[in-house]
Amino acid sequence: MQKRTLGKDLEVSALGLGCMGMTSAYGPASDKGQMIQLIRTAHDRGVTLFDTAEAYGPFANEDLVGEALEPIRDQVVIATKFGFDIDPQTGKRGPGTNSRPEHIKAATEGCLKRLRTDHIDLFYQHRVDPDVPIEEVAGAIKDLIAEGKVKHFGMSEAGIETIRKAHAVQPVAAVQSEYSLFWRGPEDGLLQTLEELGIGFVPFSPLGAGFLTGQIDENTKFDPSDFRNNVPRFSPQARKANMVLVHAVQAAAERKAATPAQIALAWLLAKKPWIVPIPGTTKVERLEENLGALNVELTDSDIKQIEEAVSKLSLEGERLPEAALKMTGR
């Protein structure tokens, strides 16, 4: 397995595994035993970065990841996230963010318990809290690092100036945000800032929440609990209009004797050596397919051809519902 470094010294597999969809977001939770086996199979194939969050469930995803990785804890990097108001007793999530230092420290204890570990390798602020100065958040993480409970600080969907302020207090190892051929927003300043500061980048939804695989069209029916039902970019009308993007990726896949998913991941891997995508799946065959992207070498000419084709397209629909968009880029 190829390795990459996030920040100064956090070494991880070139592809990680996003675990959110195993318990929520894309429909009902999958069978726990099967998901534990899938996570361990990923590790057997060389994956060392596993991504979860207290908000996934809430709590159920951390419980799953903790149980799956407990026997191999010293061989993996666990990334989780704090920053929402979640009742530790009931697991009910409140409407807003909460990154008050005392809340972060209390949340850390819950994360450690569910993950069955004494330290969190990479602890992300899930969303920036507009009511708490980022310097205080970074200071709280700095304290947790000094205590040995956290190893590295991360931020998710944060804006450039916020990242700079946080990094000045406690170096940020990685920023996690959406990035794919379906959403190229990070190219507008974020990637340049991360390179300047020496911060790694972990794209979530690297397959465009499944759209770039070519397995979804305007006739696809999502489970009622699937978050994509509420995403403008996944309305039937938008899916129909955006199939032009899938066709462009499929054309590249045919040229390289790869699958569309492999092209989408290989494109991200080729952009920067400090980018580590975290595709999620609940199926072993998709895990194997995604890892196959590591064997797809895109030349500068390949990348130029893909990007020229994609840049000519006008895609329809926002990437998130309005309320969720307001929590990004702050």
Active site residues: 56
Burial zone of 319 (CB within 10 Å; 0-12 exposed, 13-18 middle, 19+ buried): buried
Distance CA 127, CA 220 (A): 30
Per-position b or e across 10-41, b if 16+ CB within 10 A of its CB: bebbbbbbbbbbbbbbbeebbeeeebbebbee
Location of structure tokens 């419980």: 63
What crossing angle do the helices spanning 284-291 and 260-271 adopt, rounded to 10°?
Answer: 50
Ramachandran angles phi, psi of 218, nearest 5°: -65, -15
Neighbour count for residue 137 (Cβ, 10 Å): 26
Where does residue 178 fall: left (phi above 0), alpha (psi -120 to 50 degrees), or beta otherwise?
Answer: beta
